[in-house]
Amino acid sequence: MGILNITPDSFSDGGLHFHTDAALSKGLQMMEEGADLIDVGGESTRPGASPVPIEEEIRRTIPVVEQLSKRGIPVSIDTMKPDVASAALESGAKVVNDVSGLRNPRMIELIEEKRPTVCVMHMQGEPRTMQENPSYVDVVAEVKEYLLGIASRLTLPKEQIWLDPGIGFGKTVQQNLALLQSLDSLVETGYPVLIGVSRKGFIGKTLGDESPDDRLEGTLATQAWAQIKGAKILRAHDVKAAARAIKMIAAIQSST
């Protein structure tokens, strides 16, 4: 899953693809580099980010969703807002990626009505506050319980419900590492698991506070770990590198 942020303030690539032509060009490039689908988002969810009005999020994302979809490119819409998700589905999107974990009942109603594939993510708190003091008794058990609870409310086929433990969303470095260490406990539920670790802060802190641009090696290592553990979808900024790593690991796995 190639990440396409149409925002001025995303933590890694904010502003690079803010205009429709630049975003479209980047989306096409990522498909050439090996992406299977493009995740279009118009609101930054980095720690401390402020909400974007519905109309502005639609203005940013829908032209890109339309243009990519017209070219036959699978698109997911990265949004917490039912109105944005609805507009994106009408414009050709096939997946709704909701980082709030379907907290809004209207989002569940939309998913049940339109029946797209949906990614349910776990997030403690909200983007503006999620990293202030994340606290769990048992982060692995609590994240799994939440995701399965939401998944059980949906009548979609199991393969259309992706579970995302929300690495970096209301978790400390150690909590992120614990979720990755125990990823097989989520994989064994039988739902496809999506992992988004690309260039995230816990990688920089683990390796010595590197900036987002210096986190490629840590990202690839973490994505490889997730793939070996059974994750089915990897959300990536560096699509070419990620796709090549995925292909190499798959070749090794298939040779045994």
Tell me which of 30-34, 37-41, 50-54, 123-127 is least confident: 123-127
pLDDT in tens, 142-152: 999 999 999 99
pLDDT band for position 18 (cuts 50, 70, 90) = low
pLDDT at 19 over 90: no
Residue 209: what pLDDT? 79
Distance of CA 210 to the CA centre of its chain: 22
CA 194 to CA 1: how far, in whole Å? 9
Active site residue 115: no
Residue 51: what pLDDT? 84
76-166-77 Cα angle (round to 5):
15
Query: Which of 144, 200, 232, 240 does the annotation list as catalytic?
Result: 200
pLDDT band for position 244 (cuts 50, 70, 90) = very high
Residue 141: what pLDDT? 97
Give this prediction's pTM. 0.92
Residue 16: what pLDDT? 52
pLDDT band for position 134 (cuts 50, 70, 90) = confident
Query: Which of 114, 235, 244, 247 does the annotation list as catalytic?
Result: 235
Q: What b/e readout covers 55-86, taking b as 16+ CB neighbours within 10 angstroms?
A: eebbebbbbbbbbbbeeebbbbbbbbbbebbb
Residue 12: what pLDDT? 53
Tell me which of 9-13, 21-25, 134-138 is least confident: 9-13
- Length in residues, the chain: 256
Joined together, the tokens standing for residue 218 give 């840590």
CA 203 to CA 197: how far, in whole Å? 8
Residue 125: what pLDDT? 76
Sheet holding 161-164, edge to edge: 2-5, 38-41, 75-78, 95-98, 117-121, 161-164
pLDDT at 10 over 60: no
Residue 234: what pLDDT? 98
Distance of CA 62 to the CA centre of its chain: 18
Q: What percent of the chain has pLDDT over 90?
A: 83
pLDDT in tens, 171-222: 999 999 999 999 999 999 999 999 999 999 999 999 997 889 899 999 999 9
Active site residue 200: yes
Distant-in-sequence, close-in-space partners of 181: CB < 8 Å, separation ≥ 6: none
Q: What is the 3-state secondary structure (H, E, C) of the chain?
A: CEEEECCCCCCCCCCCCCCHHHHHHHHHHHHHHCCCCEEEECCCCCCCCCCCCHHHHHHHHHHHHHHHHHCCCCEEEECCCHHHHHHHHHCCCCEEEECCCCCCHHHHHHHHHHCCEEEEECCCCCCCCCCCCCCCCCHHHHHHHHHHHHHCCCCCCHHHEEEECCCCCCCCHHHHHHHHHCCHHHHCCCCCEEEECCCCHHHHHHHCCCCHHHCHHHHHHHHHHHHHHCCCEEEECCHHHHHHHHHHHHHHHHCC
pLDDT in tens, 69-112: 999 999 999 999 999 999 999 999 999 999 999 999 999 999 99
pLDDT band for position 256 (cuts 50, 70, 90) = low
CA 235 to CA 164: how far, in whole Å? 10
